[in-house]
Amino acid sequence: MSLQDLIPVVNKLQDIVTSTQLADIDLPVLAVVGSQSCGKLSVLENIVGKDFLPRGTGIVTRRPLVLQLIHVNKDDPAVLEYSPLDVPATSSEVSLEEHLRRSNGSTRSHSNEPPSEWGEFLHIPNKRFYDFNDIRKEIESETLRIAGQNKGISRLPINLKIYSHKVLNLTLVDLPGLTKIPIGDQPTDIERQTRSLILEYIQKPNCIILAVSPANVDLVNSESLKLARQVDPTGKRTVGVLSKLDLMDQGTNALDILKGNVYPLKLGFIGVVNRSQQDIQDNKLLDDSLQSEQQFFANHPAYRSFASKCGTRYLSLTLNKILMNHIRERLPDIKAKLNTLMGQTEQELASYGDYPSLVDSKEGRAALLLNLMTKFANSVVNSVEGTSFDDVSIKELCGGARIYYIYNEVFGSSLAAINPTQNLSVKDIRTAIRNSLGPRPSLFVPELAFDLLVKPQIKLLEEPSRRCVELVYEELMKIVHLICNAGSNLDMTRYPKLQAKLMETVSDLLRERLGPTIKYVESMIEIQQAYINTNHPNFVGAAKAMATVVEERRRQRETELQSRMRIATLKILSKHHKETESSDDTETELPNGHIDSKDIDIDQVDDEIKPPVVHKHKRSDSSRTLHTHKSDLASHGHESYFNYFFGKDPIMHQQHLQAQAQLNPTPFKFPLPQEPTLQFNNNFINNGGNVHADVKGLSLEDRAPSQSPVSEQENGHVPHLEHGEESNLNELNEREQLECELIRRLIVSYFGIVREIVQDQVPKSIMCLLVNYIKTHIQNRLVVKLYNEKYFDELLQEDELIQMEREKCINLLKTYREASKVISDVV
Ligand code: GDP
Ligand code: MG
């Protein structure tokens, strides 16, 4: 087995290694070391099996030549790539290919095939040298360029790549020969320079050292062996090469050296006979020279018995063994990686599903389609129900949880955010009240006005409700989309047409349901608007609302009154204090320790209230009035039906307020015209044992003549009560204020009831009409729309990309299996 025989094996391995990014086989670098003209280049040439290496009488290696042999197959696309820079073989010169052909003994002179062997220099990228002579010339000029005209050397290597289908991927290094004495313009330390340059290459553990020594020079003078020992003391990567055995003195031989008796080397010494200068000039073919070498050893009296271990062929075999050993060392690693890769690829292949041919039969395809549709439908249902645990996300809410979130958070809070009296000004209410009265005298707080005002407010609930439906719809769309495109659900992506159709069909189904659901929800609001049920058990009712309003007003007045009284008292006291300045009892007269008489601007207080009146009632009356009122409530409470509704007696309260108004005729901040007297048109409805007031209206007597709409109408002056008309609370009389507040409260209460109903009913309706509907109909719809024999082929057409990927996997697996076989053959 020669080095050439290794080519297919190593190349196959190398292919695997590079294509799969396995650990590189990392073949050793062969470096030839030796004194000048000892035959280094000749040895390299023989090893490679070709004499395309540039050489000639004038050429001396003065820069390291790193010769990278790269195997390319003849059908490699790279072979066919010509670049404009390429140097075609000139007819007058021998092309590299021609040269190689000749050296290989091939008789074929011309062919139409593109040249499949060429050289490329690192310093001239993208230029292919097809002509051997050009390569040689380039080496010469490049050597001159860097190393100069004189005989000096340079560490800067010349990198030459030889692409061929006949070579092994090996790197060979031709190094400058060792010289002792500087010649010509050579620097005095030329020996040291050369030495360090050589050492730089051969000290790498990956370097196999071919230490060439010419047999016609005493071995003790061998510089190559000296250097090799320096970097490889155990001699495990040094091969001794004894060249020029044919040039030894007559009667001498190197048998002792070759047998290892002179210099111990683990890998031994191998004697070779290269082509002489004459042979080269005569264009002696390599094969012929190998032949004569063999003959030389076979016929030589000293080497005859040792012939099998001599010669270039044996050297090649030895190197071959070294390389194989090296490869073997790497094999377990490669093998392990290969196995991993095979497993991964098999898994990937399985993920692309069965071969489409497996479902070639109609029944098979029908079953597959049905299976896929069912899987999809189930996924949708599971996602909505939250039972698809395989892809439960912890990052964000999904599926059913999102719908729940929409109901509770989004919808709930958007409803809660609605202001029941939004867009409803006091003026609007008053206008509605007035309008609802028509020309009739206003005796009751008109229910019609409440009815009129609350209906548009209920409409406010429509928009969030509709939005809720839309959000759930969008969420369902998202779920369907997600499942359709789920990476884990490869079956879907495998059939893009089916995927699109599934999406389309379910989208259609969803869209179909969107309209009716929105319509239903809208009609729910409409229903709420259709009849205002003031009998609703949770409705506050006019009576209770009125009582609250009245009570609040009373409290407000009382606190106002009290504070004013206190201020007045203080004023009087301070006056008194001024009069009796020497007296000490003033301090104790102060009703409240917090207020110091000095802090109060007495004159200002004087402007607002009439001190004598207040003073008169200051302590005894005001507190007594309150007390009396309370006791009045207690005594009359159950006798009056007002009390029954209001919980407090409005008449007593009215009387009380009137009494106060008489005591304080000057209006306070809130004007107090004549207190209206409430009169109820009462309807009792016994509702499940609870008595509720059905307020047909609260009549209010004694309107302030100028402000009453009745009087306005009587005067023939109908005011324009429009939006934009200046209106503030002070413009309304007390009765109107009460009415407005009452209506406002009723609206708030009633709106709350409807809001609750809507909040409860809308999600239920959406579930029924949209979500559950989809859940129960999705499978059926898919079958109806897609499960049709004439669609089978189209729907189950596999994605091209997946087909390609599968193909790639199959090919990869094939390569791996082959590689696996190569490896087991090597071992
Ligand atoms: P390098 O300078 O070490 O690379 O040596 P080369 O390979 O260039 O050889 C130098 C000269 O010695 C050439 O003319 C070769 O033909 C000649 N030469 C090399 N090896 C042998 C050999 O084994 N026998 C004979 N007769 N000449 C050889
Ligand atoms: Mg040389």
pLDDT digits (tens, 9 = 90+) for 795-822: 888 888 888 888 888 988 887 888 788 7
Residue 782 lies in a domain: yes
Q: Which of 276, 294, 324 finishes a domain?
A: 324
- For ligand 1, the distance from its centroid to the CA atom of residue 189, given in whole angstroms, is 25
pLDDT exceeds 60 at position 434: yes
Boundary of a domain, candidates 302, 324, 346:
324
pLDDT tens-place string over residues 253-287? 888 899 888 888 888 999 999 999 888 888 888 88
Residue of minimum CA distance from atom 23 in ligand 1: 244
The answer to whether position 579 is within a domain reads: no
Give the mean model confidence (pLDDT) for residues 181-209: 85
Longest pairwise C-alpha distance within the chain: 160
| 260 and 386 together in one domain | no
Ligand 1 centroid – CA 233 distance (Å): 27
* Cβ atoms of 399 and 388 closer than 8 Å: yes
- Looking up residue 286, the CATH number of its domain turns out to be 3.40.50.300
Could you give the 3-state DSSP secondary structure of residue 187?
coil
Give residue 49's Cα distance to chain centre. Answer: 56
Measured by CA distance, the residue closest to atom 10 of ligand 1 is 37
pLDDT, position 640? 34
Do 320 and 367 have their domain in common? no
Task: Look at residues 270, 298, 324 and tell me which one is the last residue of a structural domain.
Answer: 324
| Distance from the alpha carbon of residue 239 to the mean position of ligand 2, in angstroms | 18
CA 128 to the chain's CA centroid: 46
Q: From ligand 2's centre to the CA of 223, what distance in Å?
A: 15
In a domain, 761, yes or no: yes
CA of 51 from ligand 1 middle (Å) equals 13
Q: Which ligand is nearest to the CA of 61?
A: 2
Q: Please determine, for residue 34, whether its predicted confidence score (pLDDT) is greater than 80.
A: yes
Please name the helix (run of DSSP H) or strand (run of DSSP E) that holds residue 214, with its range, or none: strand 207-214
Work out which ligand 1 atom sits closest to the CA atom of 59.
8
Q: Which position has the token pair 């076989």?
A: 821
Percentage of the chain surpassing pLDDT 70? 68
Residue 187 neighbours by CB distance under 10 Å: 13
Residues 372 and 233 in one domain: no
Does residue 646 fall inside a structural domain?
no
Q: Are residues 401 and 296 in the same domain?
A: no
CA-wise closest residue to 217 among 268, 262, 254: 254
Pocket test for ligand 1, best of 33, 35, 36, 37 (most atoms within 8 A of CB): 37
Q: Residue holding tokens 């021609």?
A: 98
Tens digits of per-residue pLDDT, 379-400?
A: 888 888 876 555 545 555 667 8
pLDDT the model gives residue 327: 75
Q: Which residues line ligand 1 (CB under 6 A)?
A: 34, 36-42, 55, 177, 243-244, 246-247, 273-277, 280
Q: What share of the chain is helix, strand, coil (3-state, %, to 5)?
A: 60, 10, 35
Number of domains in the chain: 3
Please compute the mean of the pLDDT values over residues 66-71 and round it to a whole number.
82
709 close to 434: Cβ distance less than 8 angstroms: yes
Pair 748, 821 in one domain: no
Q: What is the pLDDT of residue 547?
A: 85
Whether 641 maps to a domain, the answer reads no
Task: Specify whether 319 is located in the same domain as 378.
Answer: no
In ligand 1, the atom with minimum distance to the C-alpha of 35 is: 3
Which residue among 274, 286, 294, 303 has the greatest number of ligand 1 atoms within 8 angstroms of its CB, and so is best to mutate?
A: 274
Alpha-carbon dihedral angle through residues 187, 189, 193, 195, given to the nearest 10 degrees: 140
Q: For position 503, which CATH number holds?
A: 1.20.120.1240
Give yes or no: residues 263 and 373 share one domain. no
C-alpha 315 chain-centroid distance: 60
**Strands, E, within 663-726: which ranges?**
678-680, 684-687, 690-693, 698-700
Residues whose Cβ atom is located within 5 A of ion ligand 2: 41, 61
- Residue 590 or 299, more confident: 299
User: Is the pLDDT reported for residue 83 higher than 60?
Assistant: no
Q: Give the CA count within 13 Å in the CB-facing half-sphere of 211.
A: 27
Angle at 701 (CA atoms; ends 696, 702), nearest 5 degrees: 160
List the structure tokens of 656: 């009380």
316 alpha carbon – ligand 1 mean position (Å): 18
Looking at the structure, tell me whether residues 170 and 205 fall in a common domain: yes
In the predicted model, is pLDDT for residue 464 greater than 90? yes
676 vs 315, higher pLDDT: 315
| Parent domain of 439 | 362-542+734-796
Residue 85 inside a domain? The answer is no
C-alpha dist (Å) from residue 376 to 109, 129, 497, 793, 801 = 67, 61, 14, 19, 22
Same domain membership, residue 424 and residue 292: no
Atom of ligand 1 nearest to the CA of 243: 23
Regarding whether 35 and 137 lie in a shared domain, the answer is yes
Average pLDDT over residues 114-121: 81
Measured by CA distance, the residue closest to atom 9 of ligand 1 is 39
Query: Which range has the worst mean pLDDT, 201-205, 433-437, 725-729?
Result: 725-729
Report how far ligand 1's centroid is from the alpha carbon of 201 (Å): 22
pLDDT category at 338 given cuts 50, 70, 90 is confident
Q: Are residues 368 and 226 in the same domain?
A: no
Report CA(111)–ligand 2 centroid distance (Å). 34
Residue with tokens 């470096």: 31
Asked whether residue 135 is domain-assigned, the answer is yes
* DSSP element (H, E) containing 633: helix 620-636
Nearest CA, atom 24, ligand 1:
244
- Measured in Å, residue 272 CA sits from the centre of ligand 1 at 11
Is 821 in the same domain as 756? Answer: no
- Candidate from 45, 276, 289, 296 with most ligand 1 atoms within 8 A of CB, to mutate: 276
pLDDT at 799: 82
Phi, psi (deg, nearest 5) at residue 553: -65, -45
Q: Does the predicted model carry a pTM greater than 0.85?
A: no
Mean pLDDT is highest, among 86-90, 134-138, 413-417, for 413-417
- Closest-approaching ligand to the CA atom of 55: 1
Identify whether 306 is part of a domain: yes
Q: Tell me how far apart the alpha carbons of residues 239 and 316 are, in angstroms, rounded to a whole number.
A: 11
Ligand 1 center–CA 43 separation, angstroms: 9
Average pLDDT over residues 125-151: 83
